[in-house]
Structure 1
Amino acid sequence: MSHGDASLPPEHRLHPWSWLFVLLQQLRQFVVPLLALLVAGRRDTGPWEYAGYASFIGVAVLVAISILQYFTYRYRIGRDGISVRTGLLRRDLRQIPYARIHNVVLHQGLLHRLFGVAEVRLEAAGGQKPEAQMRVLGLDRALELEQAVRDRGAAPLPAEATAPARCDPPLLALSTAEVVRLGLVSNRGMIVFAAGLGLVWQVFPEKAVAGLLQDWFRGAMGYAGALHLGWLAMAAGVLAFAAAFVLVLRLLSVVLALVQYHGFRLVEHQGRLTVERGLLARVRTSVAPRRIQAWHLEETLLHRWFGRRSLRIDTAVGGQENDPRRLRELAPIAPPETCDALLRYLVPQLQWPPQWKPLPRRAWWRLFAANVPWNLLLAAVLCWHFGAWGLLVLAWLPWSAYAARRQAGWMGYAVDARLVAVRGGWWSRWWRMAEVDKIQALRLQRSPLDRWLGTASLLLDTAGAGAMAPPLRIRFLPEAEARALQARLARMLAARRLRW
């Protein structure tokens, strides 16, 4: 079929300023070698004399590549999918069916918002890279593309008709006060602190940083010694410093939460869940509820103090695990009843909370026994360095036993015709659940200790599970109960696949 066939929908270009954003993206990747060449080019002797010219030539090449991509990139919104045509000498035509697109991400950084454009990513399940990444489209074109994916090939709406998704009442909207609470209960300040420490360590020589820290510590200790403070005053000073450090981390967490989650809105529109958030950079991402593989509720001690929980999801969508634009949170923070209501609304016929079945009472000592060897090893190392004072570490064992009993008392699982759920933790509680249809594999695990005690653990695999999320695992069951549960779930999975 020819390019000019009138029966085909028209092709679209990227935004005229797209070459600038592509150039900035490439410069971020090559900024270190270009700066090295530029600095080396200041030398007037030797082979470094022409290094500065090489850096300018490199920038000129990147500009040419960025402009060339604008003139050679085309996309078409068709009835059954989206086609993308790229390349000048080597032409590449990629057809992306709507059924393959599992997630649509619209990203607007501060520069994007100034130019009225957005970066669009079309993501599919399982891939590490998006099916298509468009840098950049006008905001009206980006919304039109998102609408076409929602409609699954229906005629795209005009630009003025694409924004009414905001008219739908939100399932959840976070106020500024809620975002501040999110910052207070999270540890995002440690991310800023670690990033700043890493930057200082990279920019300055390691010996200089280590020497500065040593000088600061010696100065502080010398000042404290000059004041002739007793051990009680020294302990109070250390506690005050620790409290000030925690306060600064919490303030950083609040700032980062405001930057990332300001204006958070969760909306359901035409069968897709859409989340929009961000203060400086706006991220708009959507996913169909049927692509959700597992649900994860979390409630730390600070959450309970504020009467809040968090609701996260696993989706069968490719991409990097730590990509901040990936849809992972449906409710970053909300009252427990709001999280429960969201679960019941998004998973019809779900009986939540379910009837939990506790683990055997003797499971607590399995949790306690796992910590004992590490405690003894630490005590031995400290005794070798500090003598008998190292035995004070063993005072942790009674608390560890108490925590293990409380944790085992909270652990439980629930299985019905639609849902498999587990819960765990104690100080920080969590719930993890998945629909039976979304289970990918069942595994019965038995360690040497399990074989000796006649127990087993059942591990249920789902797609898209995050590395930091607790596994969907039922632990320390009697072997007969674990095998019977595995057989029951296997029959349920087989019956559903036969109906499909």
Structure 2
Amino acid sequence: MTTEAAAPAEPEHRLHPMSWLFVLVAQLKQFIVPLIALFLFGRRDEGGLWPLIGVGVLAIGSLWQYFTYRYAVAEDALVVRSGLLERSLRVIPFSRIHNVAVEQSLLHRVFGVAEVRLESAGGSKPEATMRVLTLADALELETLVRRRGRAGPASTRAPGPAMPVADDGVAPDRATHAAVTTAPEPLLRMGAIDLLRLGVVSNRGMILVGAGVAAFSQTGGRLWSNLFERLGGSWEAWYGSNDLPLWQWLAGGLALLAAALVVVRLLSLLLAVLQYYGFVLSRDGRRLTVERGLLTRWRTSASRRRIQAWTLTEGLLQRWLKQRTLEVDTAASQQEGQARTLHELAPIAPREDCDRLIEELLPQARWHALDWQSVPMRGWWRRMLSTLPWIVLVTVALSVRFGAWGLLALAWLPWAAVQAHAEARRAGWTLGEELVAVREGWWQRYWRFAEVDKLQALRLTRSPLDRHFDTATLWLDTAGAGARSPQLCIRYLPHASADAVYRRLSSELARRPLRW
């Protein structure tokens, strides 16, 4: 929100004096690999000075941002000024700020500073990024947003040594300070055993595997060729060999698969420790805060009313360990990624702890008393239609390479049928006064639910198969849904039932105001 009606109630504040260094580091991240390659492998002539000139230009730009960036607190908004030749003025109402993220990397910790991002609902980028503030000012700004996130009069005290501000927007005096400032209430903590479980059940190690494959692909195959030549043969000769019997191919493939699974689990454990060490979910009034991370500490918070949808997940390994994952979608910027927004309320936790969190944060939904309704089984086979093209492609590829043995891939069809039948048997939905929920999956189970007031749009779709079997699919859209979030939809309902649910929800949404 940009406007010229800015009347800060306090003098403007600058960023931390070392903020230019962090701006420079952030700008250099996208150029660091080419610069290192140019310094190490480039020619030693006058052209080698160009990278230094580029770094100098970035450094000047970082200093320019420090000297021209200002922020101050107005009556009910945060005022941010930047630029000198091309001036920018942003007035950000506290009621518009949906998520506050505080980041502390190792470099931040050395200087005792933090980076703060203020995000709004559905924005393509944060409303403001303050790189960087002292840690005390960053936490005070987070407190200021938390206390004055609701519309109403606000005090005129700025972050820093300012007095805390109460929920009603009135700055208390020192005598009543203890009465309005309460300690956050911890809702969930993760210990070492939880991190071990998370590393075992998650596939986060594939992120590092993918990054490694991408890095090695830039070598043009020379690294791999040299490696196999040292082992006694060239890569091309080993790959082109057709003399090995099938059982050796299968044994080698199983051994490589087992080794890959072990490596992925170890990498997943490493990432779990780095990302979720010291995980704490706490509640301060209506605001939820998550703090986590080993090397880089993340602290992100959002108001409870900003949560748009919920996802409860239970994989096969999680079922064996009696664990689940609870995630939420918030109405905040999605461009920065889910790592910087309030997304995971419980990366992994016992089933009863996840149910307890839902009951505490959604008491009006009556999670344990929901009346689940099943989906008719007659269209169970439609759930396996999406896998048929992949089975055909794999079968053709293997048949070209191994001849008739490649037809063994068709053995996946019975398993796909069993899985589709099990998914259809478990699928269900429920619609209460305050909550709409669906449950799907069998191997990987999930529950997806949202408050009726948070629904953004309804869609009733019918494919040719739906018209033939007199069924329909009802899609329920909410704000803030990520690309990896399951769909909130009721599949393959009888058309009459789907239409009745559609009309009921349409009537409810028309009667109730939309809540963000």
TM-score between the two structures when normalised by the length of structure 2? 0.86
Q: Deviations over 1:355-387 (max 9, x none)?
A: 210000112121134434543454345445543
2:293 aligns with 278
Residue of structure 2 aligned with 1:301, choices 302, 311, 316: 316
2:138 aligns with 142
Name the CA shift for 1:109/1:365 in 2 (closer, same or farther; >3 Å): same
Shift of 1:313: 0.5
Residue of structure 2 aligned with 1:319, choices 324, 334, 359: 334
Structure 1: distance between partners of 2:503 and 2:35: 61
Where do 1:68-467 residues align within 5 Å? 68-152=64-148, 153-154=154-155, 155=157, 167-202=183-218, 204=219, 206-209=220-223, 211-212=225-226, 215=229, 238-320=253-335, 322-353=337-368, 354-467=370-483
2:173 aligns with none
* Secondary structure, aligned partner of 2:377: coil
When structure 1 is superposed on structure 2, of 111-120 and 33-42 the one drifting more is 33-42
Name the CA shift for 1:170/1:454 in 2 (closer, same or farther; >3 Å): same
Structure 2: distance between partners of 1:221 and 1:41: 31
Structure 1: distance between partners of 2:160 and 2:259: 54
* Secondary structure, aligned partner of 1:170: strand
Task: Check conservation: 2:422, 2:442, Cα contact below 8 A.
Answer: yes
2:511 aligns with 495
Q: Deviations over 1:283-327 (max 9, x none)?
A: 000000111110001100011111100000111111326352222
Count of matched residue positions in the alignment of Structure 1 and Structure 2: 485
Name the CA shift for 1:499/1:26 in 2 (closer, same or farther; >3 Å): closer
Name the CA shift for 1:33/1:382 in 2 (closer, same or farther; >3 Å): closer
* Secondary structure, aligned partner of 1:349: helix
When structure 1 is superposed on structure 2, of 278-287 and 231-240 the one drifting more is 231-240
1:47 aligns with none
* Secondary structure, aligned partner of 2:305: helix
Structure 2: distance between partners of 1:195 and 1:106: 26
Shift of 1:348: 2.4
Structure 2: distance between partners of 1:302 and 1:33: 42
2:26 aligns with 25
Q: Deviations over 1:239-295 (max 9, x none)?
A: 444323211211111111000000000111132100000001000000001111100
Task: Check conservation: 2:104, 2:296, Cα contact below 8 A.
Answer: yes
Structure 1: distance between partners of 2:72 and 2:291: 26
Shift of 1:490: 0.4
Task: Check conservation: 2:318, 2:324, Cα contact below 8 A.
Answer: yes
Structure 1: distance between partners of 2:245 and 2:213: 32
Shift of 1:213: 6.9
Name the CA shift for 1:87/1:103 in 2 (closer, same or farther; >3 Å): same
Structure 2: distance between partners of 1:172 and 1:455: 42
Q: Deviations over 1:85-137 (max 9, x none)?
A: 11122332211110111111100001001110000011111111111101100
Residue of structure 2 aligned with 1:477, choices 493, 496, 507: 493
Structure 2: distance between partners of 1:19 and 1:390: 60
In the alignment, structure 1 segments of 5+ residues that lack a partner are: 45-49
* Secondary structure, aligned partner of 2:84: coil
Structure 1: distance between partners of 2:232 and 2:249: 14
Shift of 1:214: 6.1
2:174 aligns with none
State the one-letter code of the partner of 2:14. R
Shift of 1:221: 12
State the one-letter code of the partner of 2:259. A
Structure 2: distance between partners of 1:498 and 1:248: 47
TM-score between the two structures when normalised by the length of structure 1? 0.89
Shift of 1:181: 0.9
State the one-letter code of the partner of 1:29. Q
Name the CA shift for 1:498/1:404 in 2 (closer, same or farther; >3 Å): closer
Structure 1: distance between partners of 2:429 and 2:362: 18
1:10 aligns with 11
Name the CA shift for 1:212/1:484 in 2 (closer, same or farther; >3 Å): farther
Structure 2: distance between partners of 1:213 and 1:193: 19
Shift of 1:182: 0.7
Structure 2: distance between partners of 1:376 and 1:41: 49
Task: Check conservation: 1:41, 1:53, Cα contact below 8 A.
Answer: no
In the alignment, structure 2 segments of 5+ residues that lack a partner are: 149-153, 165-177
* Secondary structure, aligned partner of 1:268: strand
